């Protein structure tokens, strides 16, 4: 049953753990080039150490030295049958003598090789997968903030007049970042200017919300400022409506009918040098009151269709950065 | 071999033609595999409805071929995509045909998947031992719909853009992970400069690769498990006989006894 | 009695024997059918592509029998585009319109599609009988018919769902035509269309019924409703006990001036319903 093959001192290199350490060293060295020279130095040391051990191991035969003790070598059981003389270098599990009374089974070499293959394969897979997955996923979640957008002089916004204002959120990205806001100058409250600035994306599923009322296209004003084309069209809406699934909002952005899960998103704004600047968008669960006196229940920006209050919001416990 | 006195010239030609086939067979066994695929037995009573699967495969091949060619002219960039679609449709020679075939082939592919699924359902062909193949088929249907969804954005016209906005945000309402899926698909908080190339990569490489692999598995299982007879066929392969044992086909006994034996059973 | 697994195995064994004894080779008989079907498929695709192309024009507005070649270039800031999905997502699109309450949104977007997918994946595990003949699978057949019917209805409803499009001149022309509106009502009709009245009211099949608002196609044929009545009503619905409809009269804080209200009232009074 047992073909006896391989003379003692065969030329097949003995399996060794050193290459694994060598590979880890190389990985640390590479990581170090990004993370810092201390880590790179550590990696270099590990690489050199394991590289030396590996070479020493592999050249044992050439140097004519006795093979060092192999960790996997099983001791020959005293009562092992004569036909099953164990030969660690090239025998599989099948070749092992059945454990007899009192004999402790040692970790067999083939199992070690199997596990090592799986392990090394896993390491290779990880080395490829981790950067690739990171590259695919992480950029979508990092550095997503955008700067402030100048949409015109405060004087361009007549009091109590809605202006459909279209602008580029990020002129570097171009037309793909075109956004529309419904802006109404509420006048001043306690000496502070007040604006109602609603984002035109429906909070149901992101469709473009339309003003319910006459749009005076012929009175549009255009302005180009810092490579940003801005269009302002006066409109007299009695509310806003979404043409996809029939969501309805009032002029403060509160949901009146249909599936929207919260009030319309709003833009933060600031005024610098007489210019109106739009900042980040934020989500709103409810607005009480009107215009300058409105009391807004503000939340972090959420995706369309995501509840920000009430029991349904428990479905979305964490939100992406 | 058994042919009637073929001319020696013809024999020579045939032998010459077989040389490459033999060469290939000796080194790969491929010819044998193809032979097995072609000459495997299928039930004698199979029906036209059972061609829907291969018709779906044909539609997929049409999509793959036309898609590869379209990729030679299409530019996955928000500033250039629409212009390249206009150019393909109106200017490039036969571009209208290739784009038209890809556009309408997508609809045909999806219709055929549903028809094929309906056929399998009506034939009860998802039952033992073909459960796994049904599941693979459902996976193909889901991937096919996702392929349609990712391809829909690429023309970058109004319809494409806003349908994609809604489609992406539908995923966003999934509990817990939804908002993350949205941001992953869009490669940002909103559809931006990277979204279209991301959809393009999914549409061109990831999904077709996955679909192709699953089609291979699907076909392997079809060949391995065999094709079902129509359930109403009196000669259906594997139909129940009164006495289990060697087939007693031809004496008509099974057909006569079966209804009576089962008449009380349905309720 | 043998176990179900044994019976299934025996049946598959029988199937294999039957096919071996009485089957026919896949090539050429069966493959011929497959090839003919594939030819049909390719011809249909080419025919669709040709009809689509040759009946449409370079301009996005020149839609042919199978729709336009493309619509206008994507505009992320549009305020007058009405998004619609491709036809095979119409069922989902209409499903989303059915769930018109905020807390039910998730049912249409994720809930029902997930349940359908799970039912499909699980089908071979809850239909464990060996029976394949249709007449002996009443549950399966009824379920199949219901699924096909509901998908068909949803797809049809999705395909024919119309929506108010602000400033859509063709819709207004269609109304003038079908409702025999006098010229004086045309301005009001345009205003009606622009002002978003169709977000809640249906007019000749266009628009959506929200907040219990009535269909206004024949509002003018109801007794006792004069232009003056409509002017006052639209200006301030509160005085008529309507607390749902927005206030439109400028005097009451709305967005329409007296002349616009008058035009709107002319249009409503002239709306006598089709025919």
Boundary of a domain, candidates A140, A174, A189: A140
Calpha distance C222→A97 (Å, rounded):
102
CB-based contacts of A152, cutoff 8 Å, min separation 6 = A165, A223, A225, A230, A232, A275, A276
Using an 8 Å CB-CB cutoff, list chain C residues near A310. 103
**Of the segments A186-190, B31-35, C181-185, which one has the largest average pLDDT value?**
B31-35
Q: Is residue A2 part of a domain?
A: no
How many angstroms separate the first and last alpha carbons of chain B?
Answer: 58
Q: How far apart are CA C255 and CA C236, in angstroms?
A: 11
Mean pLDDT of A241-254: 85
Q: What is the pTM of this model?
A: 0.78
* Residue A76 pLDDT: 53
Please give the radius of gyration of chain A, using alpha carbons only, rounded to the nearest integer: 36
Does A187 reside within a domain?
yes
> What whole-number distance in Å separates Cα of residue B45 and Cα of residue A296?
71
Asked if the C-beta of C115 comes within 8 angstroms of chain B's C-beta atoms, the answer is no
Structure tokens at C22: 């009485």
Residue of B nearest to C136 (CA): B266
Check CB contact under 8 Å for C76 and A250. Answer: no
Contact B66/A at CB under 8 A: no
Q: What is the DSSP letter of A143?
A: S
- Which residues on chain C are in Cβ contact (under 8 Å) with A257? 100, 200, 210-211
Q: Which of B207-216, C73-82, C193-202 has the lowest mean pLDDT?
A: C193-202
Segment C16-30 mean pLDDT: 90
Interfacial A residues in 214-233 facing C (CB < 8 Å): 214-215
What secondary structure letter does DSSP report for B228? P
Report whether B142 contacts C164 (CB < 8 A): no
Report the residue from B78, B79, B172 with minimal CB separation from A304. B172
Question: Where in chain C are the domains?
Answer: 25-73, 85-161, 169-270
CATH class of the structural domain C169-270: mainly alpha
Query: Nearest CA to CA, how far is A292 from chain B (Å)?
Result: 29
In this predicted structure, what is the pLDDT of residue A39? 87
Chain B hits for A173, CB-CB cut-off 8 Å, are 192-193
A298 and A244 assigned to the same domain: yes
Which chain B residues touch A144 with a CB distance below 8 Å?
Answer: 188-189
Closest CA to C119 of C81, C89, C100, C146: C146
Q: Is the pLDDT of residue B153 over 60?
A: yes
Do A241 and C164 count as a contact with CB atoms less than 8 A apart?
A: yes
Cβ separation A176–B178 shorter than 8 A: no
CA distances from C23 to B52, B97, B219, B228, B236 (A): 20, 41, 19, 11, 10
Separation between Cα atoms, residue B121 and residue A158, nearest integer Å: 65
Instruction: Pick A250 or A183 by higher pLDDT.
Output: A183
* Pick among C71, C74, C76 to test the A interface (most A CBs inside 10 A): C76
C109 DSSP assignment? I
Across the strands, what pairs with A282? A266
**Average pLDDT value for residue range A82-98:** 50
Instruction: Say if residue C135's pLDDT is above 90.
Output: no
- CATH number of this structure's domain C85-161: 1.10.287
How far, in Å, are A25, A48, A54, A112, A214 from residue A18 at the CA level? 11, 11, 5, 14, 78
Residue B156 has a pLDDT of 95
Cβ of A180 and C79 within 8 Å?
yes
Q: What's the whole-number average pLDDT of chain C?
A: 84
Residues A33 and A110 in one domain: yes
pLDDT of res. C218: 81
User: Is residue A73 over pLDDT 80?
Assistant: no
Domain that holds residue A162: 149-315
The answer to whether position A64 is within a domain reads yes
Distance from CA of B265 to the nearest CA of A (A): 48
Kindly state whether residue A130 falls inside one of the protein's structural domains: yes
Cβ of B108 within 8 Å of Cβ of C38? The answer is: no
Is B178 within 8 Å of C110 when comparing Cβ atoms?
yes
Of these ranges, A186-200, A298-312, B170-184, B214-228, the one predicted with the greatest mean pLDDT is B214-228
pLDDT of residue C153: 93
Tell me, yes or no, whether A120 and A32 share the same domain: yes
- Could you tell me the pLDDT band of residue C86, with boundaries at 50, 70 and 90? confident
The set of chains that have 3 or more CB pairs under 8 A with A is: B, C
The whole-angstrom distance between C115's CA and the closest CA on chain A is: 18
Residue A17: pLDDT band with limits 50, 70, 90: confident
Q: Are residues A190 and A214 in the same domain?
A: yes
Higher-confidence position of A232 and A61: A232
A95 touches chain C (CB under 8 A): no
Would you place residue A104 in the very low, low, confident or very high pLDDT band (cuts 50, 70, 90)?
low
Q: Do C195 and A213 touch (CB under 8 A)?
A: yes
Q: Report ipTM for this prediction.
A: 0.85
CA distance to partner chain B, nearest, from residue C39 (Å): 9
B252 pLDDT band, cuts 50/70/90, is very low
Domain count, chain A: 2
Q: Are residues A186 and A302 in the same domain?
A: yes
* Own/partner pairs, A106-110, CB within 8 angstroms, 24+ separation: A106/A74, A106/A75, A107/A72, A108/A72, A108/A74, A109/A15, A109/A72, A109/A74
Span A219-243, mean pLDDT?
86
**CA gap C155, C143 in Å, rounded:** 18
Confidence of residue C121 (pLDDT cuts 50, 70, 90): very high
Please indicate, yes or no, whether residues A135 and A158 belong to a single structural domain of this protein: no
- Assess contact for A183 and A157: CB atoms under 8 A: yes
* pLDDT beyond 60 at B5: no
Please report residues of B whose CB lies closer than 8 A to that of C150: none
Q: What is the pLDDT of residue A82?
A: 46
CA pair distance A221, A242, nearest whole angstrom: 25
CB B134 within 8 A of CB B127: no
Residues β-bridged to residue A286:
A297
The Cβ of residue C83 has, within 10 Å, a number of other Cβ atoms equal to 26
Contact yes or no for C34 and B159 at CB 8 A: no
Question: Mutation test of the interface with chain A: which of B83, B188, B194, B200, choosing the one with the most A Cβ atoms within 10 A?
Answer: B188
Q: Are residues A243 and A297 in the same domain?
A: yes
Q: What integer is the mean pLDDT of B214-240?
A: 91
Chain A to chain B Cβ contacts (< 8 Å): 74
Cβ atoms C233, C196 nearer than 8 A: no
B21 or A68: which leads in pLDDT: B21
Domain of A201, CATH number, reads 2.102.10.10
Residues A274/A278/A283/A288 CA torsion (nearest 10 deg)? 20
C-alpha C275/C-alpha B254 separation (Å) is 66
Q: Is the pLDDT of residue B245 over 70?
A: no
The pLDDT, as a whole number, for residue A72 is 54
Residue C159 scores a pLDDT above 50: yes
Determine the pLDDT at residue B266. 39
pLDDT (0 to 100) of residue A11: 53
Interface probe, candidates B41, B65, B160, B240, chain C, greatest C C-beta count within 10 A:
B41
pLDDT (average), residues B80-84: 95
Count of C-beta atoms within a 10 Å radius of residue A184? 22
Task: For residue A240, give both structure tokens.
Answer: 């806003």
Contacts of C165 (CB under 8 A, 6+ apart): A243, C80, C82, C171, C193
Burial call B154-182: b when 16+ CB within 10 Å, e when fewer: bbbbbbbbbbbbbbbbbbbbbeeebbbbb
- Burial class (CB within 10 angstroms; exposed 0-12, middle 13-18, buried 19+) of B153: buried
Same structural domain for residues A109 and A179? no
Statement to judge: residues A135 and A154 lie in one domain: no
What pLDDT, on the 0 to 100 scale, is given for residue C123?
92
**Disruptive mutation site among A147, A199, A205, A283 for chain B (greatest number of B CBs within 10 Å):** A205
CA distance C177 to chain B (A): 29
C42 touches chain B (CB under 8 A): yes
Domain boundary pick from A122, A140, A158: A140
Q: What pLDDT sits at residue B257?
A: 43
Collect all residues of chain B within an 8 Å Cβ-Cβ radius of residue C83: 158-159, 162-163, 165-166
Contact C247, C236 (CB under 8 A): yes
Distance between CA atoms of residues B128 and B114, nearest Å: 21
Same domain, A310 and A293: yes
Chain C interface, mutation test: which of B124, B135, B148, most C Cβ atoms within 10 Å?
B124
* Per-residue pLDDT, B264: 40
DSSP for B117-160, please give it.
HHHHHHTTTTSTT-HHHHHHHHHHHHHHHHHHHHHHHTT-BHHH
Query: Are residues A166 and A264 located together in one domain of the fold?
Result: yes
My answer on whether A200 and A276 are in the same domain is yes
Least CB–CB distance from B54: residue in C37, C92, C148: C37
pLDDT attached to residue A80:
44
With respect to residue A10, please indicate whether it lies within any of the assigned structural domains. no
Nearest to C140, CA basis, from B135, B116, B47, B120: B120
Domain boundary among A115, A140, A165: A140
């Amino acid at each position: 049953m047992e073909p006896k093959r391989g003379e003692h001192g065969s030329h097949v290199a003995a399996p060794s753990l050193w290459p694994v350490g060598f590979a880890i060293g190389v990985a640390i060295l590479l990581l170090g080039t990004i993370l810092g020279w201390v880590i790179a130095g550590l990696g270099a040391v590990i690489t050199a150490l394991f590289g030396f051990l590996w070479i020493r191991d592999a050249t044992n035969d050439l140097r004519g030295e006795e093979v060092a003790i192999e960790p996997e070598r099983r001791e020959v059981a005293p009562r092992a049958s004569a036909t099953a003389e164990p030969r660690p270098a090239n025998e599989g599990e099948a070749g092992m003598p059945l454990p007899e009374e009192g004999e402790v089974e040692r970790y067999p070499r083939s199992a070690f090789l199997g596990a090592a293959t799986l392990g090394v394969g896993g390491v290779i897979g990880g080395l490829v997968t981790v950067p690739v997955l990171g590259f695919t996923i992480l950029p979508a979640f990092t550095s997503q903030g955008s700067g402030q957008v100048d949409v015109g002089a405060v004087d361009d916004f007549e009091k109590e007049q809605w202006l459909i204002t279209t602008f580029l959120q990020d002129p570097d990205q171009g037309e793909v970042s075109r956004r529309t806001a419904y802006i109404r100058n509420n006048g001043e409250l306690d000496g502070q200017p007040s604006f109602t600035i609603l984002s035109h994306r429906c909070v149901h599923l992101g469709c473009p919300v339309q003003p319910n009322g006459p749009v005076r296209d012929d009175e549009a004003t255009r302005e180009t400022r810092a490579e940003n084309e801005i269009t302002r069209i006066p409109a007299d809406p009695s509310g806003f409506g979404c043409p996809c699934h029939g969501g309805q909002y009032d002029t403060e952005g509160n949901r009146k009918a249909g599936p929207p899960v919260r009030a319309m998103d709003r833009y933060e704004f600031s005024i610098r040098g007489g210019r109106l600047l739009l900042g980040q968008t934020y989500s709103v669960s409810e607005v009480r009151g009107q215009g300058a006196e409105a009391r807004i229940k503000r939340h972090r920006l959420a995706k369309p269709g995501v509840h920000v209050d009430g029991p349904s919001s428990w479905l979305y416990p964490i939100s992406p950065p | 071999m058994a042919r009637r006195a073929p001319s020696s010239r013809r024999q020579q030609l045939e032998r010459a033609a077989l040389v490459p086939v033999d060469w290939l067979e000796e080194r790969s066994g491929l010819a044998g595999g193809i032979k097995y695929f072609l000459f495997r037995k299928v039930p004698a009573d199979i029906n036209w409805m059972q061609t829907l699967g291969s018709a779906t495969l044909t539609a997929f091949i049409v999509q793959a071929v036309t898609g590869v060619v379209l990729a030679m002219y299409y530019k996955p960039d928000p500033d250039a995509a629409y212009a390249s679609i206009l150019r393909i449709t109106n200017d490039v020679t036969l571009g209208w045909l290739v784009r038209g075939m890809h556009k309408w082939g997508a609809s045909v592919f999806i219709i055929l998947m549903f028809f094929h699924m309906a056929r399998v359902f009506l034939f009860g062909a998802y039952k033992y031992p073909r459960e796994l193949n049904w599941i693979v088929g459902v996976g193909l249907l889901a991937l096919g719909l996702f392929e349609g969804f990712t391809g829909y954005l690429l023309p970058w016209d109004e319809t494409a853009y806003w349908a994609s906005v809604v489609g992406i945000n539908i995923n966003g309402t999934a509990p817990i992970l939804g908002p993350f899926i949205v941001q992953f698909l869009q490669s940002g908080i909103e559809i931006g400069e990277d979204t279209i190339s991301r959809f393009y990569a999914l549409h061109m490489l990831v999904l077709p690769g996955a679909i192709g692999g699953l089609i291979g598995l699907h076909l392997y299982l079809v060949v391995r498990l065999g094709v079902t007879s129509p359930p109403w066929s009196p000669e259906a392969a594997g139909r129940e006989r009164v006495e289990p044992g060697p087939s007693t086909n031809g004496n008509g006994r099974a057909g006569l006894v079966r209804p009576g034996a089962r008449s009380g059973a349905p309720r | 009695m043998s176990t179900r697994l044994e019976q299934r195995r025996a049946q598959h064994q029988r199937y294999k024997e039957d096919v071996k004894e009485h089957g026919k080779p896949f090539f050429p008989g069966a493959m011929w059918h497959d090839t003919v079907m594939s030819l049909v498929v390719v011809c249909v695709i080419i025919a669709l592509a040709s009809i689509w192309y040759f009946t449409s024009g370079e301009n996005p507005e020149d839609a042919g029998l199978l729709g336009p070649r493309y619509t206008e270039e994507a505009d992320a800031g549009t305020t007058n585009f009405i998004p619609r999905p491709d036809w095979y997502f119409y069922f989902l699109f209409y499903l989303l319109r059915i769930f018109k309450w905020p807390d039910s949104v998730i049912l249409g977007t994720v809930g029902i599609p997930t349940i359908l997918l799970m039912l499909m994946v699980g089908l071979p595990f809850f239909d464990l009988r060996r029976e394949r003949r249709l007449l002996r699978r009443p549950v399966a057949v009824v379920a199949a018919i219901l699924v096909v019917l509901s998908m068909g209805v949803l797809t049809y409803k999705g395909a024919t769902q119309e929506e108010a499009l602000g400033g859509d001149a063709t819709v207004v022309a269609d109304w003038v035509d079908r409702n025999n509106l006098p010229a004086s009502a045309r301005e009001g009709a345009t205003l009606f269309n622009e002002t978003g009245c169709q977000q809640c009211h249906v007019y000749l099949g266009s628009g959506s019924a929200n907040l219990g608002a009535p269909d206004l196609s024949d509002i003018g044929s109801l007794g006792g409703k004069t232009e003056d009545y409509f002017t006052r009503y639209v200006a301030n619905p509160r005085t008529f006990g309507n607390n749902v409809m927005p206030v439109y009269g400028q005097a009451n804080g709305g967005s329409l001036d007296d002349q616009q209200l008058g035009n709107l009232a002319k249009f409503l009074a002239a709306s006598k319903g089709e025919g």
